[in-house]
A and B are shown apart, each in its own frame.
Chain A
Amino acid sequence: MNIIVCVKQVPDTTEVRLDPVKGTLIRDGVPSIMNPDDKAGLEAALKLKDESGAHVIVLSMGPRQADDVLREALAMGADEAYLITDPAFSGADTWATSSTLAGAISKLDFDLIITGRQAIDGDTAQVGPEIAEHLQIPHISYCEYFKIEGDEVIVKRQFEDRYQILRAKLPALITALDEMNEPRYMTPGGIFDAYREKEVSVWSRVDVPVEDENIGLKGSPTRVVKTNPKMLKQPGTTIETGVDEAVQFLVDKLKEKYIL
């Protein structure tokens, strides 16, 4: 059983703060991490490795620094790692990103692909399903739990008000939710192996079978035309006082607004 896990290196957006005076992003010192949904997907794959000897391959598309998250995945227990990196791939939207990843994946043997539901920097949740579409395999997104039975994957799929228990024939792709599990930590031995014993294979443009018109900025149907830091509105009145005064103040405000 071969499992491919797609992982993305992302800035830890929960560590980003807004400068309250200038209203700009404070990005300095924001650490890069493995995207949480992807890490849950990796943990699920590693559990299958522990239980039934699955072979776990991690794949990342990104700049050279994304080597860090692949080493982390190796240190957690992944068997093989591929970094898809080339200036020709940069500027890709979800369509071009997924066609590139699908091209890379098509060179590997796999039964199951796991991606995170979404990355915390882009929050699109589109790359997983679009990879499946490019590969013409089924996908099940919002996976909270799954198991393999014979030639099928059985998934507990989350909706707003319900779950579905769904089955798909392998090979298939699932997108993992971070509430699926608690990812393991790297072990000292694992870290040693990740840097000394194991390798990250680097694939550039020539290594990925995909058409020029389907990669990078040129292959992207969408374009970002501008980005603005989100402006916070003008703060109102804040008071620091005793409990009774505070309650009276709130009651007065609610009356002023005709809520009472």
Chain B
Amino acid sequence: MQIKEKSVFVFAEQVDNRITPVTFELIGKARELAEQLDNQVVALLLGFKVGNLVDELIEYGAQSIVLADHIELEHYRTEPYTQMITQVIEKYNPEIVLVGATSIGRDLAPRVAGRVHTGLTADCTVLEIEEETNKFLMTRPAFGGNLLATIVCPTHRPAMATVRPGVMIKREPEKNATAEVINFDGTITSNKMFTTIDEVLKKGLSKHDIQDARIIVAGGRGMKTVEGFGLLKELADVLGGEVGSSRAAVDAGLQDKSKQVGQTGKTVRPNLYIACGISGAIQHLAGMEESDFIIAINSDPTAPIFHVADVGIVGDALKIVPKLTEAIRGERGV
């Protein structure tokens, strides 16, 4: 089987031989788009000795895989990745290329779009095919999350988009799914745009990503201190959840940046989001308002967080949270 022209490509980001989770979300969305366009989803996997990852991509819905395995692709660097992807695009002429809006994707996609001379829409939260016209509509928050702009790419191909992690829905994995894997034999030529990696410093982060959490207990400046956040951790622990944070609390040094929810942090949609001492700047709301059930505790009755909350408590989170933790422990008999 050959890869059809005008298919929907997904850049399958991997770091240290692990697929970045947004990739599966993109494949899920790409399947919907491809169905409407009567075409297929191709995952584009770049790296060195990463052939072991194709099965997972197929389980999550990739219908073909283009695998570019090359020693220059072992660690992410902009130029070798750009050279390889540009060759793949030139060979297969995709209609759409989706890339996760990660710190790799947002570095790589503009370089590729610049080189192949096409349109790129950043950080999309809605992707759809318009029914009658088959136009690809890309919607993204702009103006600090205050506006939603819908963007098209009328004449240049492929239409490229980076997509916010945590927004699209991945498919249930199918263990028996099959797909063709094409080994792509591209060339990488060293040039003045190459960079050199001298060192990699891993941040000592907890292995729990708030984007995977079903319950998030988030705090803002109203939690006041690191000890205040300790109260949230106790509540999160008794609920089996994770602690999240507003940007204000990150800026105040109360939480790590990796816990930040919002426009410049992460987008989350847990089953339960408890916002404690968070006023609810529009940038924060943009990252959490899709949560299934939202509880807000804030002493200011006019705080915007109450506009998105299903349940709001006007009161001091520092007093309410420990008692709530205690009450839940009582309910659970622990």
Known: A139-B111, A247-B324, A257-B272. A240 touches B152 (CB 8 A): no
User: Chain B nearest CB: distance from A145 CB in Å?
Assistant: 12
Q: B245 an interface residue at 8 Å Cβ cutoff?
A: no
Q: A38 an interface residue at 8 Å Cβ cutoff?
A: no
- Complex contacts, A121 vs chain B, CB 8 Å: 142-144
- Complex contacts, B141 vs chain A, CB 8 Å: 123, 230
- Complex contacts, B297 vs chain A, CB 8 Å: 246
- Complex contacts, A126 vs chain B, CB 8 Å: 106, 109-110, 113, 120, 122
Whole-angstrom CA separation of A161 from B258 in the bound complex: 8
Whole-angstrom CA separation of A18 from B202 in the bound complex: 39
Q: Residue of A at shortest CB range from B324? A: A247
Tell me which residues from 165 to 218 in chain B have a Cβ below 8 Å from any Cβ of chain A: 192-203, 205, 215
Q: A164 an interface residue at 8 Å Cβ cutoff?
A: yes
CB atoms of B193 and A253 under 8 A apart: no
Segment with Cβ contacts to A, from B48-56, B63-71, B325-333:
B325-333
User: Chain A nearest CB: distance from B79 CB in Å?
Assistant: 7
Tell me which residues from 216 to 251 in chain A have a Cβ below 8 Å from any Cβ of chain B: 220-230, 232-233, 235-241, 243-244, 246-251
Contact of B197 among A17, A124, A165, A255 (CB under 8 A): A165
Known: A121-B144, A239-B314, A243-B315. A93 touches B201 (CB 8 A): no
Q: B83 an interface residue at 8 Å Cβ cutoff?
A: no
Contact with A along B115-143 (1 / 0, CB 8 A): 10111111100000000000001000111
CB atoms of A221 and B195 under 8 A apart: no
CB atoms of A139 and B78 under 8 A apart: yes
- Complex contacts, B117 vs chain A, CB 8 Å: 95, 221
- Complex contacts, A16 vs chain B, CB 8 Å: 143-144, 146, 282
CB atoms of B120 and A247 under 8 A apart: no
Q: B102 an interface residue at 8 Å Cβ cutoff?
A: yes
Known: A13-B146, A227-B147, A250-B311. A166 touches B195 (CB 8 A): yes
Interface of A, secondary structure class, is: mixed
Contact of B295 among A129, A137, A253 (CB under 8 A): A253
Q: B73 an interface residue at 8 Å Cβ cutoff?
A: no
Q: A150 an interface residue at 8 Å Cβ cutoff?
A: no
Whole-angstrom CA separation of A78 from B233 in the bound complex: 46
Q: B23 an interface residue at 8 Å Cβ cutoff?
A: no
- Complex contacts, B192 vs chain A, CB 8 Å: 136-138, 169
- Complex contacts, B194 vs chain A, CB 8 Å: 138
Contact of B114 among A18, A134, A138, A227 (CB under 8 A): A134
Known: A168-B195, A235-B307, A238-B306. A222 touches B121 (CB 8 A): yes
Q: B104 an interface residue at 8 Å Cβ cutoff?
A: yes
- Complex contacts, A259 vs chain B, CB 8 Å: 215, 239, 271-272, 293
Q: A29 an interface residue at 8 Å Cβ cutoff?
A: no
Contact of A246 among B106, B271, B315 (CB under 8 A): B315
CB atoms of B313 and A225 under 8 A apart: no
User: Chain B nearest CB: distance from A34 CB in Å?
Assistant: 16
- Complex contacts, B142 vs chain A, CB 8 Å: 121-123, 227
CB atoms of B107 and A141 under 8 A apart: yes
Whole-angstrom CA separation of A133 from B308 in the bound complex: 42
Segment with Cβ contacts to A, from B2-10, B36-44, B153-161:
B153-161
Whole-angstrom CA separation of A93 from B272 in the bound complex: 38
Q: B224 an interface residue at 8 Å Cβ cutoff?
A: no
Q: B310 an interface residue at 8 Å Cβ cutoff?
A: yes
Whole-angstrom CA separation of A222 from B122 in the bound complex: 11
Which 7 residue pairs spanning A and B have beta carbons closest together? A13-B144, A221-B119, A133-B114, A238-B312, A222-B119, A124-B122, A236-B310
Query: Which residues of A line the B interface, CB within 8 A?
Result: 11, 13-14, 16-18, 20, 25, 93-95, 98, 120-130, 132-134, 136-142, 154, 158-169, 220-230, 232-233, 235-241, 243-244, 246-251, 253-255, 257, 259-260
